[in-house]
Every structure is written in structure tokens, then in C-alpha cells.
Amino acid sequence: MIARGLYTLALWLALPLICVRLWLRGRREPGYRRAVAERFGRHAAARGAAAGRPLIWVHAVSVGEVRASIPLVRALQALYPQCEFLLTCMTAAGRDALDQVYGDSVRKAWLPYDYPFAVSGFLETFRPRLGVLIETEVWINLLAACRARNIPVLLASARMSARSARGYARLAALTRPAFERLASVCAQSEVDATRIASLGAHRVNVAGNLKFDVQPDPALAAAGAAFKAQLGGRPVLLLASTREGEERLLLEALAPRLPPEALLVVVPRHPQRFDEVAGLIAAAGMSVARRSLKESPQRVRVLLGDTMGEMAFHYAVADVVVIGGSLLPLGGQNLIEACAQGVPVVIGPHTFNFGQATQAAVAAGAAIQVEDANGAADVASRLLLEPDRRAAMSRAGLELCATHRGATLRHLEAIKPLLKL
């Protein structure tokens, strides 16, 4: 209790900095200035109870978690048609992804900052019967408030890196009660389950990774296949979900290695960096077309994927993909989507956010892990010239995803005892 009080005091002291940071982020991404009052527990939406339908709340912090939530939310909607669904997030890109994925089929809001008054306002407004937190989202005051109101909270598709586990363990007086307040945990792997249980969570089971159950958008995949057919056999290398600092490294490394006829497709992870990356490509002396402008890539070296929600399109175009976020110590991005569409994967050394999936993909032969940008450029460029090797990696990726599907059903089995309707 003392630790939580000190934590809350620290939050109050940090409030001016939090507000300044929100304002600054809003300069680059206007979405952060949308419905700011919701971040402090003041939601204009009607109360869930007053609407006459029980409400299930799912929190997906950003784009990756939104995509991971899709199979579970769709399954819950089918299983509990009498319920309303609320999806919350924390980032502007995540809010846009919620709009793209779910449209008007769910209610959407910001999850408030972890102030007691804010989380109380949120819970009193929506009165959920169940909360589902996707992956690793442990909020101290929010979980305490849910326990006080007898709202069960499940941690879904939960992962826990060794580094994160050490960080939580160092603050055990604060974090252990939060983990103990979780009604149930569905971990991605045995390793994740062991680490989470050691932090205080009860009723931890291994349910698998929901990302393996995400199906590529068939319309986008078909559009990508049609687009690829128009390229006249040009090999395509995709740099997917690249982060700040990686594009420059990769462009420099690829310049002497990429086959002259190849098309390079670059899709930055964050939309606010689209113009910046276009400038980096031009500075590297490469001609570029922009996907958002529907410009033809026929006579250019690079296609910039400056749109949101089109990864299934880009994977359908690609012959090989280099996964971003992994060449600098950023933890990596999702390689499962690429494997699910049969795209051979090259990934860097920094994959702690997707450690289990990376190990499985490398062991299966669906991915090749390299040490740096030069290694990624070298391996990816050679793969473009080796169709038989690419075909073997493609089959391995498809088989890997087929083997690991089923997490959604295991999550539903953990949810059913918690949801009292």
C-alpha cells in the first residue's frame, strides 16, 4: 500500500511533464490531441450498464496489439452477441488501427493514465464485466481499482522478456500486488508463464500467441498479388516496420549489394516518419514512388509504403522481407505476419519482444537471423537470387504458423469462467 501511494505521488509530480509530452507528440501526430479528457477518465460515452448490455473491455496499447486482438475479439463477439465491446489503446497509431480494423462494431476510447481518479472515472463510465489486457500491460492503480469493483482482468497472449522480468522484480513491493490481482494469465510460452508466475501472478497457463491466429486480409493480399504481377518479374525486397536509424543503415548496406533490377519497398513503423524516410531515400540517390499517391514503381528503385493498415498488401508483393526494429536494440517487430504469407524472413539480433517467435522461425527454417544491417543486406540480396531456397523458407513459414494456431480457443476457455453474464 505504501509502495502504491509513493507510485501515485510520483505520477502526480510527473503530471506537468506528461501533459507537455502529450502536447509535443500531438505536434507530430495530431491524433494525440483527440479526446484528451478521456486520458483523465472523463468519457462522453454512455455508461455500459445504462445501455442495458453487459460490456467486455479489451485493451490493446498500440498497432501490434490491436492486430493481435482481432481473432480473440471476433471470437468473443460471436460467442457473446448480447455483449457490447470496448477497445482501448494508448497511441495515436493504435487509435487509427482500431478505426480501420473494427469500424463501428465496437466502442473505442483512450485508456486513462494510471491516476486513481482517472481509472475510477473510466470504470464507473463503462462498468465492464471483464477486462482483457493484450500482451504485457500491467497498470498498478487500474488493477487495484478493478479488484475493488470485482472486475476480473485477464492478461492475454502474455509475454515477459528476461529483461522486463528483472525490472518488475526490482520493484516487487509495487508490482507483485498488481500481478497478484490478475484473475488469470494466458502466456505465450512456458518461459513466459514461468517468469510471470515468479512475479506474483496466479492461474497462469500457456495458451499460445494470438498473432499466429491473425489471418491476412484477403482483399489486401489479392491486391498485392495483382500489383506484383504488374512488376514484370522484378524481385522485391521489403524493409518492414523499420524504426528510426535503421533505414539509413540498410540503404547504405544495400546500395552495393541489391540486384540492379530489384525493387526495394520501405514501410516505416511510424506514420509521422514517412516524409523523413522519403528524404533519406532521396539523399541516398535512389528514385522513389509513394504508395499513398498511387505512383507507379515501374521506373523507380524504391516504393515507400506510406500508408497504414496495408502490411498484408506489402507482404503479398515481397519476395524477401527484412524485419525492422531488430537491427538496433529496439526489441524487434512482428515476423509472424510475414511467415503467415509465406515470405522468407531476415531479422536482426535484437528480438526480445518476439524472442520465442523468432527462435521458432529460425529453427523451422522460415527465418535467418543476422548480426547487423550489413548482414541483413547481404543475406536478403542473395535470397533474391535463390528461388529454390526462398520456396523452402516460404513453406517452412506457412507450416510454422499452421502448427502454432489455436491460441484463440485456449483463451476463450480461460475467459468463460471469469465472465458472469
List active site positions.
65
Distance in angstroms (rounded) separating the CA atoms of residues 178 and 48:
25
Identity of the residue numbered 311: M
DSSP lists the bridge partners of residue 295 as none
List, in order, residues 6 or more apart from 89 with CB less than 8 Å away.
Answer: 59, 60, 61, 62, 65, 66, 95, 97, 98, 108, 110, 111
Distance in angstroms (rounded) separating the CA atoms of residues 142 and 111:
10
List, in order, residues 6 or more apart from 305 with CB less than 8 Å away.
Answer: 265, 266, 267, 268, 291, 314
Distance in angstroms (rounded) separating the CA atoms of residues 128 and 203:
21
Place of cell 490478475: 182
Identity of the residue numbered 340: A
b (16+ CB within 10 A) / e for 47-66: ebeeeeebbbbbbbbbbbbb
Contact predicate 96/308, CB 8 Å: yes
Distance in angstroms (rounded) separating the CA atoms of residues 166 and 400:
30
